[in-house]
Structure 1
Amino acid sequence: MSRPVIIGLTLDSEQPGGYSKFPWYAIRENYCGAVVRAGGLPILLPHEPDHAAEYLDLIDGLIVTGGAFDVDPALFGSQDRHDTVTTKDRRTAFELAITRLALAADKPVLGICGGQQLLNVALGGTLVQHIPDEVADALAHEQPNPRNEPGHEVAITEGSILHRITGTARVAVNSAHHQAVKTVGPGVIIDAVAPDGVIEGIEMPGRRFCLGVQWHPEFEISPPDEAIFRAFVAAARG
């Protein structure tokens, strides 16, 4: 039997309340299910920044998941901090550490929603701190309908890696974010954009796999969503 393709997924963290009276980790099942259906074996990564290298040695590919929090603006050089910004500093420290190590080792990386924002910061980019205040006539990027339904379309750049993976120039996506990529890091390509101009996808050419999407393809609301996971796991298989 061939060795399984091990995919590491970053966890979210919560303070006491709800599930436990003590701090706890969390992840939606569909992140793991999407990896399994694409041929990978998911393992979950707790927030231990000092052990990021050891965790990276265990995995073939890294998924940086989303969450209802923000990257500290100081980490991308901003001296201002919008009132809506909330952070999870230990989670971000771990995600930045393991993402930078994965990039240095050229291991496949997929950033999803907030994970795309984290990936962009790791690659030297900056973020829009609050879309309604920075984007004129912005769409409802925190869509009112359920997350397993589309909220808007995105246009995919012809000739991009994302275009090759999805095989389409437009795709309907779900949307659950108030921040977005503002400027990309050196060598990073914008590969998907919403009708209001908000950046919805980034990629780094020349790597085994380095892709960020602002939506949540783990809900698999369209064939392109499934194709993203298949392409990522295939790259991690080597």
Structure 2
Amino acid sequence: MSRSIYIGITLDIEYQSTYAREPWYALRENYCTAIQNAGGTPVCLPHDVDQIDAYLDLVDGLVISGGMYDIKPELYGETDIKGGLVTKEGRTEFERRLVLGALQRDLPMIGICGGMQLIAVAHGAKLIQDIPTGVKAPLEHMQPEPHDVASHSVSFTPGTCISRLFGAGRVEVNSVHHQSVKDIPPEILVSAVSADRVIEAIEIPGQSFCLGFQWHPEYQINEGEGRVFRALIEAAADYAERAAMGCQSAVI
């Protein structure tokens, strides 16, 4: 396929007047660079729920980005609040609907940090709301800056898609989160865990390409993280080709 492969990236939103008095969108540049280096064209997606179908028609794949916020516990069936939660309900609702639409279309997708958690919750998983109080003898999962260095290792589940992309049993990763997924339903496969048994990566075998990472592979700390984004672009190119063939068949 000769045309560009478009990868939608969800934006964070901030309400503090450090950049502007009004709410402003934010995205680290390395999300876009990781996609560009893998051969894709990044497309940033504002939080407009009325445009979700248009976005999904436009893009060939998705990256659900991370951010310093938490998913509202009611979305995974809990009402008790453990630890300090910061929610961005408008962003979460937009991303939740976007993820559901992408899953219905079998659109290739990567969820990063909070994005992985949202994909898991969309499949019925729950969250550990606060790792320091909810995990026995936890590692330090909220590392200080810089984030382009590793802070702990993860071990891969043999035979998973993610383990094949990294080509190793263990790898060092960065870590910037205080929550993690739990109570995984059968349709989610755990692909990596840390030494304290926190789930660090997942995949959805029922989808053609749907991976989740609790760490931030867009920092490209190791070669496997580059292969993750190249695999996304390859899957998105396949999706675009199938979509084009479907359109041609419909015309015929």
Say whether the fold is shared (TM-score over 0.5): yes
TM-score interval, normalised by the smaller of the two chains:
over 0.9
Of stretches 102-111 and 201-210 in structure 1, the one that deviates more from structure 2 is 201-210
Pair 185,49 (structure 1): closer, same or farther in 2 beyond 3 Å:
farther
- Aligned to 1:232, the other structure's residue is in SS state helix
CA distance in 2, matches of 1:44, 1:81: 32
Which has more radius of gyration?
Answer: 2
Q: CA shift at 1:16, angstroms? A: 3.9
For the pair 1:28 / 2:28, whether they are aligned, the reply is yes
CA distance in 2, matches of 1:53, 1:127: 28
Given that residues 142 and 178 in structure 1 are in contact (C-alpha distance below 8 angstroms), is that contact kept between their aligned partners in structure 2? yes
CA distance in 2, matches of 1:83, 1:166: 34
Instruction: Kindly report which structure 2 residues correspond to 1:221-236, keeping only aligned pairs within 5 A, or say none.
Output: 221-236=221-236
Q: Paired residue for 2:197?
A: 197
TM-score, scaled relative to structure 1? 0.97
For the pair 1:184 / 2:197, whether they are aligned, the reply is no
Q: Paired residue for 1:39?
A: 39
Instruction: Kindly report which structure 2 residues correspond to 1:95-114, keeping only aligned pairs within 5 A, or say none.
Output: 95-114=95-114
Q: Paired residue for 1:219?
A: 219
Unaligned runs of 5+ in 1: none
CA distance in 2, matches of 1:144, 1:43: 29
Q: CA shift at 1:82, angstroms? A: 2.1
Given that residues 124 and 186 in structure 1 are in contact (C-alpha distance below 8 angstroms), is that contact kept between their aligned partners in structure 2? no
- Aligned to 2:172, the other structure's residue is in SS state strand
CA distance in 2, matches of 1:235, 1:143: 32
CA distance in 1, matches of 2:118, 2:78: 15
Superposed CA deviations along residues 135-187 of structure 1, whole A, max 9, x for unmatched, are 01100000135100001000011000101111111110000000001122341
Instruction: Kindly report which structure 2 residues correspond to 1:46-195, keeping only aligned pairs within 5 A, or say none.
Output: 46-195=46-195
Number of matched residues?
Answer: 238
CA distance in 1, matches of 2:163, 2:22: 44
CA distance in 1, matches of 2:36, 2:161: 22
Given that residues 83 and 129 in structure 2 are in contact (C-alpha distance below 8 angstroms), is that contact kept between their aligned partners in structure 1? no
- Aligned to 2:2, the other structure's residue is in SS state coil
Unaligned runs of 5+ in 2: 239-252
CA distance in 2, matches of 1:192, 1:186: 16
Q: Residue 212 of structure 1 aligns to which amino acid in structure 2?
A: G
Q: Residue 10 of structure 2 aligns to which amino acid in structure 1?
A: T
Of stretches 136-145 and 211-220 in structure 1, the one that deviates more from structure 2 is 136-145
Q: Residue 199 of structure 1 aligns to which amino acid in structure 2?
A: I
Q: Paired residue for 2:241?
A: none
| Identity rate, percent | 48
User: RMSD across aligned C-alpha pairs, in angstroms?
Assistant: 1.1
Superposed CA deviations along residues 8-37 of structure 1, whole A, max 9, x for unmatched, are 000000014111111100000000000000
Q: Paired residue for 2:210?
A: 210
Given that residues 14 and 23 in structure 1 are in contact (C-alpha distance below 8 angstroms), is that contact kept between their aligned partners in structure 2? yes
TM-score, scaled relative to structure 2? 0.92
